[in-house]
């Protein structure tokens, strides 16, 4: 009897943890500074579709770019995760938040990353928990094989 109760409690804790770690950006409204629409579609919706095999890409040659998520209402979050192939291209970024999608406040300011070109990577930015309607990943620069390039993101997650 004790084992059954313990097992049920363990499943409850795992379920509660999974709910607490829900990706708030999944399938939300997302816009971008630009998108590369060469034969395949690299639109911003690909960055929140839950599929690491799809991706958003800024237009070729874009020096700076951004992805902006609209939660539809004020939502509490404290972490942004960039996931999948090409995530390592991002060399310098900021995370910004807004209540109206017009006035932006940086919560993570111009972080420089070492791009190791591992082809597949995950990195995250954490900050003080807040309740905002919009979050934006602003990419100041991207690098591929040591050369400037357009940004490309498989998954942008928010927790």
Q: Are 143 and 36 in contact (CB under 8 A)?
A: no
pTM: 0.83
- Residue 16: count of CB within 10 angstroms of its CB: 10
pLDDT by residue for the chain (159 residues), tens only, comes to 544 444 444 434 443 444 458 999 999 999 999 999 777 789 999 999 999 999 999 998 888 999 999 999 999 999 999 998 788 889 999 999 999 999 999 999 999 987 765 555 889 999 999 999 999 999 999 988 888 899 999 999 999
The reported pLDDT for the residue numbered 119 is 55
């Amino acid at each position: 009897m004790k084992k059954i109760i313990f097992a049920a409690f363990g499943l409850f804790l795992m379920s509660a943890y999974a709910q607490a770690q829900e990706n708030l950006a999944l399938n939300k409204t997302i816009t971008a500074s630009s998108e590369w629409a060469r034969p395949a579609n690299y639109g911003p919706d690909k960055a929140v579709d839950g599929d690491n095999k799809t991706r958003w890409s800024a237009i070729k040659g874009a020096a700076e770019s951004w992805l902006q998520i609209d939660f539809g209402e004020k939502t509490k979050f404290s972490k942004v995760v960039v996931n999948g192939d090409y995530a390592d291209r991002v060399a310098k970024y900021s995370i910004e938040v807004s209540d109206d999608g017009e006035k932006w406040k940086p919560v993570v300011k111009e972080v420089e990353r070492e791009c190791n070109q591992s082809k597949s990577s995950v990195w995250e930015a954490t900050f003080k928990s807040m309740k905002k309607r919009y979050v934006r990943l602003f990419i100041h620069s991207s690098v591929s094989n040591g050369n400037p390039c357009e940004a490309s993101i498989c998954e942008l997650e928010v927790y």
